[in-house]
Structure 1
Amino acid sequence: MPVERLDLVSKLYQASLWPRVADVAAGAKSAAPLVVDLDPTTFCDLACPECISGKLLNQSRFSPERLLALAEELVAMDVRAVILIGGGEPLAHRGTRKVLRTLGEAGIAIGVVTNGTMIRQNLDELARYASWVRVSMDAGSSATYGLFRPDRKGASVFDKVVANMRLLAGAKTGSLGYSFLLMTRRNADGSTVSNHHEVLRAAELARDIGCDYFELKAMFDDEHHVLDIPADLLGSVEEQLRQAGRLTSDTFEIVNSSTINAVRALEGPVQPKEYQRCRVAELRTLVTPSGVYICPYHRGNPKARLGDAVTDSFADIWKQSDRAIVDPRTDCTFHCARHRSNLEIEAIGEDGVPSRGLIEDQDPFI
């Protein structure tokens, strides 16, 4: 039976991944991560006011030569999946196309998180090598897109991105996702603007474009704590999702992220954790031009920095680094999408006995 797209716990039990998961559960350090989030650059062509990485943008990038060498290092280490992300806009780096080819031809699964403005320039590689591409849209119309995702001149490039997505939908071999982050902004005069009213419209557009899924997410603050949604807005969103249910089919699904589910469950902004070590940090990590970090939640955090991939090989950094430098009890009070994965690995424990049967390999993006 296929694993659901966001069922991160079930993905731990895939046959070829299980040995590394079991080793980590037993307390061992992993020889290499299974998944690497890779920021080719911190530069971005948009100027989104709510960007959670806003303070880190437009500062640095890997040289094309170093970026390609880094991709080759990941291949040599037997990394199973790489997500090109940011930080900045990953497709803005002129070396990304070679990285896509290098990783793809080596059989490494590739995910891409993009604003979609440069899909056309990278179309051939994305269509051929990407396991999935998720486009951050956060709107269903050009006007709302312009409010929350303007370019540097304040204009909306919504129509351009939609056209790019249609191109990819017609050529892709992997899946294409339409990401919608629920946002509310309070203006200086006390008024508010939001995008909550466009969930249904965006879902309809996603299916019309040819996307495989529409993903809904709740908003974070700057420290990654999930923000509550007022009851009236949440009620409107839920009604729109109910209506969007008619859009689902064998080729199109509505995906609810762990953040929106946390809001529904009234879990609040703080996610308590009782374990003192993040075992998932042995299985995935983040590589950026400013450093290698425990995970994307700690992008730019000097306390969670493992090394410098600009000057040092990633293999050396991984071998020498201490992935226990972050204590989830005090350093990760925010909502973490892999909290349940950590709980599962803790439950597996030192005996390495799986709590369920192993499954065939399907999706290495744990």
Structure 2
Amino acid sequence: MTFDRLDLVSKLYQPSGWPRVLDAAAGRRTTGPLVVDLDPTTFCDLACPECISGKLLNQGRFTPERLAELAEELISMSVRGVVLIGGGEPLAHRGTRQVLRMLGGAGIAIGVVTNGTMIKQNLDELAEYASWVRVSMDAGTSDTYRKFRPDRKGRSVFDKVTGNMRLLAEAKKGALGYSFLVMTRREPDGTVISNHHEVLEAAGLAHDIGCDYFETKAMFDDGHHVIQVSEDLLRSVDDQLAEAERRWAGDSFEVINSSTLTSLRSRVGAIQPKDYHRCQVAELRTLITPSGVYVCSYHRGNSQAKIGDAVTERLPDIWENSDRGIIDPTRDCRFHCARHRSNLELEKIAEGAVTPELGPDYDPFI
């Protein structure tokens, strides 16, 4: 079935999640989240200068035993989808393979966001159980990769990662994505470097590797505001994406771009104002990390958005006792939020302003 991976509003209208969607829309507490972002570890083997989680890295991990317990708790809470993400590099945790087996064996959909360096060590589980794996690449050549995604010794592991992706492309049951974050940096000597000129080359490489999609995104600052770019740079990216569409887009390969890139095109600015005081999506999706459980991934590490400690507390207890309304979007979420439209849709559902038409279950990652 063909679907828009980024159409989060349409994903609300799926039968298995609909009872909890109705509860969230009505302002009622849900029995558990539908989707969980899970950081197994804060360790990462790369040293990306633009890493938005840079200040949170290498500060802890779940023990393998606790990570397995978390998987059991997620299963017991009837979570429909889990995204292994970070924070750090999720495949760097030696317990991740078991989590993939446990969640996948229980029928929970699994997404993985990875830098790709450790795909080979986790290949069997990723190929068998992952609904999708998205590899953060941000380059089309080894030299540009080294500038934006160096390892801890400043080297490029571009060839290693692309080789790992080819292995997964041959074995996978789910989808494989090539993620390209458009970045520009001013060096101390005033030199400006960018990766935007390699969008077309990277898309071609993604197609050659056997990826199912190529995704382009805009860059955030530390506060998750979309960083604005020049008209020339945006035009260059758009021209390359159009050419990539012309050359390679088809039934087995998609060229997609996130809502952040769309916001740059429409010049809405870095601020996304919101006029609702409670995020109802927080009843449907949450973030679990070694440092705490947070209302969402945008607030990773924010003590004001922490609702529990998954190291010492059981997830069902955290969900039963926590206040998911501790964040006020009008005040605390003025950045661009991918789920803003979902919150607006939940308001319409609550008001009876839409007539629900539930389709089949096709993608739980709301």
Instruction: Give the TM-score range, shorter chain.
Output: over 0.9
Q: Which residue of 1 aligns with 2:340?
A: 339
Q: Structure 1: where are the runs of 5+ without partners?
A: none
Cα drift, residue 355 of structure 1? 3.1
Q: Which residue of 2 aligns with 1:301?
A: 302
Q: Which residue of 2 aligns with 1:142?
A: 142
Q: Structure 2: where are the runs of 5+ without partners?
A: none
Q: Is the 8 A contact 1:178 1:213 kept in 2?
A: yes
| 1:313 partnered with 2:314 | yes
- The two structures have a TM-score, normalised by structure 1, of 0.99
Q: Deviations over 1:248-277 (max 9, x none)?
A: 010000011000000001010000000000
Q: Residue 207 of structure 2: SS of its match in structure 1?
A: helix
Cα drift, residue 354 of structure 1? 4.6
Q: Which residue of 2 aligns with 1:90?
A: 90
Q: Is the 8 A contact 1:2 1:362 kept in 2?
A: no
Q: Deviations over 1:153-184 (max 9, x none)?
A: 00000000000000000000000000000000
1:259-278 pair list within 5 angstroms: 259-278=260-279
Q: Which residue of 2 aligns with 1:359?
A: 359
Q: Which residue of 2 aligns with 1:21?
A: 21
Tell me how far apart the structure 1 counterparts of residues 33 and 287 of structure 2 sit (CA, whole Å): 10
Q: Residue 277 of structure 2: SS of its match in structure 1?
A: coil
1:1-366 pair list within 5 angstroms: 2-245=2-245, 246-349=247-350, 354-366=354-366
Cα drift, residue 237 of structure 1? 0.8
Q: Is the 8 A contact 1:284 1:295 kept in 2?
A: yes
Tell me how far apart the structure 1 counterparts of residues 43 and 354 of structure 2 sit (CA, whole Å): 42
Cα drift, residue 82 of structure 1? 0.2
Tell me how far apart the structure 2 counterparts of residues 31 and 18 of structure 1 sit (CA, whole Å): 13
Cα drift, residue 239 of structure 1? 1.0
Tell me how far apart the structure 2 counterparts of residues 354 and 108 of structure 1 sit (CA, whole Å): 29
Q: Deviations over 1:186-222 (max 9, x none)?
A: 1111121000000000000000000000000000000
Deviation larger for 20-29 or 95-104: 20-29
Q: RMSD of the TM alignment (CA)?
A: 0.9
Q: Residue 88 of structure 1: SS of its match in structure 2?
A: coil
Q: Residue 8 of structure 1: SS of its match in structure 2?
A: coil
Cα drift, residue 350 of structure 1? 5.5
Q: Is the 8 A contact 1:115 1:135 kept in 2?
A: yes
Tell me how far apart the structure 1 counterparts of residues 71 and 199 of structure 2 sit (CA, whole Å): 37
Q: Is the 8 A contact 1:3 1:11 kept in 2?
A: no
Q: Residue 243 of structure 1: SS of its match in structure 2?
A: helix
- Runs ≥4 residues deviating over 2 A: 353-356
Tell me how far apart the structure 1 counterparts of residues 2 and 20 of structure 2 sit (CA, whole Å): 21
Tell me how far apart the structure 1 counterparts of residues 23 and 307 of structure 2 sit (CA, whole Å): 21
Q: Deviations over 1:220-244 (max 9, x none)?
A: 0000000111111111111111110
Tell me how far apart the structure 2 counterparts of residues 158 and 3 of structure 1 sit (CA, whole Å): 30
- The two structures have a TM-score, normalised by structure 2, of 0.99
Q: Deviations over 1:81-124 (max 9, x none)?
A: 00000000000000000000000000000000000000000000
Q: Residue 349 of structure 1: SS of its match in structure 2?
A: helix
Q: Is the 8 A contact 2:50 2:148 kept in 1?
A: yes
AA partner of residue 74 (structure 1)? L
Tell me how far apart the structure 2 counterparts of residues 269 and 158 of structure 1 sit (CA, whole Å): 31
